[in-house]
Amino acid sequence: MYAVLTLNCLDKRGIVADVTTFINEVEGNILDSQQHREELGNQFFMFTKFDISSLNCTRKELSEKMSEIASKYDMTWSLTFSDKQKRMAIMVSKYDHCLYDLLLRHKYGELNTEIALIVSNHLDLENVAEHFGVPYFYIPRDKDNREEADKKAIELFQSHQVDFIAMARYMQILTPTLLDCYPDKVINVHHGFLPAFKGAKPYHQAYEKGVKLIGASSHYATAELDMGPLIEQETARVDHSYCVEDLIQLGRSIESRVLAEAVKAHIEDRIIVFNNRTIVFS
């Protein structure tokens, strides 16, 4: 059993020493520790994973001790525990490749999370959810009922105690109503290499520009379309002989991988969001 501590603050001498001393004093054993410093803004970021099987205090006391250090350095911090799995909701429309990929990775134990439910604006993939034993909910959605549909989705998420959401090619624009309920907890996959080719039909846009690279991007969804903090990106080389359908076919596997990598990083608390960008520890 282990805990994960993430933090960021202005860079000062003594931060690593104080944190590691604190973990040693509570008889934790550091399993992994990574730091990153950014000259822009003089910010310091830290990810520490430590064994708590021999902890000499309660978890509440652990948090209180960490809070004292955080106050000293004016930190933003988070402490999570491996025995409390995050509960994920999946939103999907008709494309099934990202959905299948997440469900299979979960089945094979690659994603340490609980899949609480699947929400869709179509009924096409209900049989997939049934096959994997995941509750499936159909919420009709169009440009005229977005607010109402998102409120229904929020009710479902709250009743199923959802911690975060993966948009597995959910081809709808979420409203601030939903996004504000789950800040930095809605992970989207965009079938384009952001910030280029935002919005609809990015492969068509890429073809028209004659690009030599195509890609996909996973990011936290925000009210500004396709402009949330990027988590993972991948590209593949193409040339003039590729038609739009070739680009779409090549892109499917890229989309699945970048979404899965982003979801995994989120589950493992390896992401710190700062100023609309991310620090993603390995």
Q: Which residues are catalytic?
A: 226
**Separation CA 73–CA 188 (nearest Å):** 33
Angle, nearest 10°, between helix axes 202-209 and 244-267? 130
The tokens for 88 are 């994920």
Whole-angstrom CA distances from 196 to 17, 192, 213, 226, 241 are: 42, 7, 11, 10, 21
Contact of 148 with 139, CB cutoff 8 Å: no
In 91-172, alpha helices (H)? 97-107, 126-132, 146-159
Whole-angstrom CA distances from 4 to 47, 71, 77, 138 are: 7, 19, 10, 36
**Separation CA 229–CA 262 (nearest Å):** 11
Any idea what DSSP says for residue 55? -
Contact of 121 with 172, CB cutoff 8 Å: yes
Q: List Cβ neighbours of 125 (8 Å cut-off, separation of 6 or more).
A: 92, 94, 96, 99, 118, 136
Task: Please give the span between the terminal C-alpha atoms of the chain, in angstroms, as a whole number.
Answer: 20
Which amino acid is present at 24? N
